[in-house]
A and B are shown apart, each in its own frame.
Chain A
């Protein structure tokens, strides 16, 4: 295949993945809607007369099957979308000359970041019983894919010289993995807060599927506990090593570095808060959300606020700072 063909395949695969993510979202929405019906029939069965009972029991059975079917369908479609998403990333890397890793500019970072979120959701889903988070994950990934395609798209090109290093693989893979996991952690923390606000309201419909507050808190903690060391590795070990090689100084107080540090500090505070009286639970979850906000602000937002970042991947502009020669 030619490079142009690979590039076309990549763009088409992004579109296809988005469509399949959308179908997955539809399946999840149907699952939710069905959950509500099951509930009503159970209420009916409890209070209804003798003629209602036998039919509604069959109904309940049927509905349960339907709910389960749509849940499985949603998960299956998500998995399919992740595979197509991977094809998009892979062909993006193949379309560059010379072939390279598909994370060299903001469009590609977003593509890779959303892929990691969805893939981690599938990988962790079984172990941590995260199935109920499916619709949230799919919505998030879909929204960011749109942002990537509409605002961040960049035709494929070779890497700027500064990015041309094997640290690009180590540093960016770890940073994106941590970003994906932190994002999932932010979702469970947000769910925790909403569920907590609901208080003693009956846990019907979709809320019946969400785990208990303790479980949610524990789940958030475990996801963050996985992501934090990975983030530490990315931001405080590989980042400085690479910065030292490329820019001559391992810590430059570059805006991207500063925000990565801020994110690190906020998540460190989250981990401490979870073991501190008066901070665990609600405040810790809020901190986790603040962490997610700083994380994504750093990922996309800071590029629009600061022009002096050496992490700007728009072009291969010569990073000439402190150019001030004086006549002596």
Chain B
């Protein structure tokens, strides 16, 4: 290799253009990152990156829909899964964008805060030599003396809440106003960080869970009682408030006329709860939009439906299933779908799958549901027997019947599979000595969402601060005004110039107002 590098006294090797040392490179990167141009591009990237999450169902938002979507798109699913499209807002690339944006924001705001602090204590700058070179300026002549004009200008500007330079040069006035504008700007950007902290607190320390409870079933707040439970990554089970509650009664206000006849106008769950074991028994009517807060936990009523109560006897005459079964509403009229699994039945396991009609009617031979209210309830089920796949230990959804190793019971004649239609009180005998099923009555269930969202106060404080800062930075005008007078043989020449630093104001209008005020005053 060359020997030049070894010689200590040799001149530094010539640098090609674009060649940077590590330090210079880092500084260059930092400058780029904190520049407004990159911040703008990052903002637009953030907007763009948020789009896919609104078009493809998200696992964290709606797991059921996401699962259905995956079943329908076999080729796209593996690709999307690699890209994190099913969890956009938790994906590394989305995080990369907003983290870079936050770094850029901090890198921009911190130096600006120091500049602001310095400017706050600095005097308004001295008047430029040549005021007429500024984009908006005006001149007028007057017969008044220079001192009179200057004094009036000072009074006028002070009244308009301008700060004046104390040691302004002879024959000039320097004034400045609108310091709160930059303060608003800084507050806005810092508040964005506060919102992020609040949001992150909620995501990491909070949890969200849901449970479907048939009316009258008690609930005590332990993780095992939940149907679904999504804790944040730093959540501890000890955070759970030790409350218990029971929904004693459930009211629905049904619409009886108009285009939405048969749908619910409103519903409320009358519940009794204790904040802690052995505590005082309290009552609350839980409704949509009216959550109940117990300690740090919020309870929400977000859905309701029907749970038919059936009794199943097997071929040996034993009661092998007895109780309410949650059926899922398919629409606002609460026409519902559900599954009843009876693994203990002998001689073979029994599975029922079918529909619940709150108000059953037979219209031209077709079964229809007329109303969400349970005016004429009916249960219509197909019956399966065989291995329901419940013995393997693998968990399966209670709303899905595993039919891989089961066969549908055939109907006597005509129909492909047996369908049993039951009104409350009816019992149907199953063929082949498999047993019987009785439809006893209907109960209602409620879906209660239970969640802890720590940091929501911080987030709210953050957005309110952000809004206040934003309004300050948008509506407070920041401008400088200079005035210079010179006495000549024909009277006094007044030059006045204004500089708007906010980029949204009509300086010419401001200037003409000032000139008018200055000229009018003596009369």
Binds A, one of B6-14, B300-308, B378-386, B423-431: B300-308
Give the docked Cα–Cα distance between A232 and B456 (Å): 17
Cα(A276)–Cα(B39), bound, Å: 10
Interface pair B64/A321, CB less than 8 Å apart: yes
> A161-B266, A164-B266, A253-B58 in contact; A248/B288 too (CB < 8 A)?
no
Q: Which residue of A lies closest to B203 (CB)?
A: A251
Q: Does A305 contact B (CB under 8 A)?
A: yes
A83 within 8 A of B: no
Tell whether, in the assembled complex, residue A273 and residue B50 are in contact, meaning their CB atoms are under 8 Å apart. Answer: no
Indicate which residue in B65, B305, B470 contacts A228 across the interface (CB closer than 8 Å): B470
Q: Complex formed: what's the CA distance from A268 to B506 in Å? A: 22
Q: Which of A158, A272, A308 contacts B260, CB < 8 Å?
A: A158
Establish whether residues A322 and B54, one from each chain, have CB atoms under 8 Å apart when the complex forms.
no
Q: Does residue A317 face the partner (Cβ distance < 8 Å to B)? A: yes
Given A247-B302, A250-B459; A228-B474 close (CB under 8 Å): yes
Closest chain-A Cβ to B300's Cβ sits at a distance in Å of 4
Contacts A158-B258, A229-B470 given; does A320 touch B43 at CB 8 Å: no
Within 8 A of B (CB), among A147-163: 155-158, 161-162
CB distance from B176 to the nearest CB of A (A): 19
Nearest CB of chain B from residue A51's CB, rounded to whole Å:
43
A271–B474 alpha-carbon span in the complex (Å): 9
Q: Which residues of A contact B466 (CB under 8 A)?
A: 232, 236
CB pair B453 A250 closer than 8 Å: yes
Q: What CA separation (Å) do A290 and B37 show in the bound complex?
A: 18
A215-235 Cβ-contact flags toward B at 8 Å (1 or 0): 000100110010011001100
Is A308 within 8 A of B208, CB to CB? Answer: no
* A32 vs B258: C-alpha distance when bound (angstroms): 48
Given A248-B449, A252-B61, also A326-B397 (CB < 8 A): yes
Q: Are B47 and A327 in contact (CB under 8 A)?
A: no
Taken residue by residue from 337 to 376, chain B's Cβ proximity to chain A (1 for < 8 Å, 0 otherwise) reads as 0000100000000000000000000000000000000000
Interface core residue of B44, B53, B255 (most chain A CB under 10 Å):
B44
Contact of B62 among A161, A229, A321 (CB under 8 A): A321
Residues of A within 8 A of B34 (CB): none
Are A253 and B396 closer than 8 Å at their CB atoms? no
Tell me which residues across on chain A come within 8 A of B506, comparing CB atoms. 218
Contact A320:B331 (CB < 8 A) given known A157-B260, A161-B266: no
Give Cα A258 to B228, complex, Å. 24
Instruction: Report whether B64 and A318 are in contact in the complex, using a CB–CB cutoff of 8 Å.
Output: no
Tell me which of A222, A228, A324 has the highest count of chain B C-beta atoms within 10 A of its own C-beta: A324
Judge if A92 is at the interface, Cβ distance under 8 Å. no
Q: Is B460 an interface residue (CB 8 A)?
A: yes
A237 located at the interface, meaning its Cβ lies under 8 Å from any Cβ of chain B in the complex: yes
A68 close to B (CB within 8 Å): no
Q: What A residues does B208 contact at CB under 8 A?
A: 248-249
Q: Is the pair A317, B302 in contact by a Cβ cutoff of 8 Å?
A: no
CA distance A2 to B305 in the complex (A): 34
Contact B451 A249 (CB under 8 A): yes
Is B210 on the interface with A (CB-CB < 8 A)? yes
Q: Which of A244, A279, A323 contacts B37 (CB 8 A)?
A: A279
CA gap between A321 and B209 in the complex, in Å: 11
Docked complex Cα distance between A262 and B94 (Å): 13
A322 vs B40: C-alpha distance when bound (angstroms): 37
B263 touches A306 (CB 8 A): no
A165 within 8 A of B: yes
For the complex, is B26 an interface residue (Cβ under 8 Å from A)?
A: no
Q: With the chains together, A164 CA to B449 CA distance in Å?
A: 19
Q: Is B264's beta carbon under 8 Å from chain A?
A: yes
Shortest A295–chain B CB gap in Å is 12
Smallest CB separation, B32 vs chain A (Å)? 14
User: A233-B467, A273-B40 are contacts. A320–B453 as well, Cβ < 8 Å?
Assistant: no
B302 touches A327 (CB 8 A): no
Known: A247-B300, A325-B397. 18 other contacts (CB 8 A): A158-B265, A161-B265, A240-B459, A240-B460, A244-B453, A262-B47, A265-B46, A266-B43, A266-B44, A307-B65, A315-B260, A320-B328, A323-B212, A323-B227, A323-B328, A324-B227, A324-B399, A325-B228
Binding site for A on B (CB under 8 A): 36-37, 39-40, 43-44, 46-47, 50-51, 53-55, 57-58, 60-65, 89, 199, 202, 208, 210, 212, 227-228, 255, 258-260, 263-267, 287-291, 298, 300, 302-305, 326, 328-329, 331-332, 334, 341, 390, 395-399, 447, 449, 451, 453, 456, 459-460, 463-464, 466-467, 470-471, 474-475, 503-504, 506
Closest CB pairs A-B (n = 5): A255-B54, A248-B300, A258-B54, A248-B449, A318-B303
Q: Could you pull out 29 A-B pairs where Cβ atoms are within 8 angstroms?
A: A157-B258, A162-B288, A162-B289, A164-B288, A164-B289, A229-B471, A233-B467, A236-B463, A247-B302, A250-B459, A253-B61, A253-B89, A258-B53, A262-B51, A269-B43, A272-B39, A275-B36, A302-B54, A315-B263, A316-B264, A317-B329, A318-B447, A321-B62, A322-B210, A323-B328, A324-B228, A325-B212, A326-B397, A327-B395
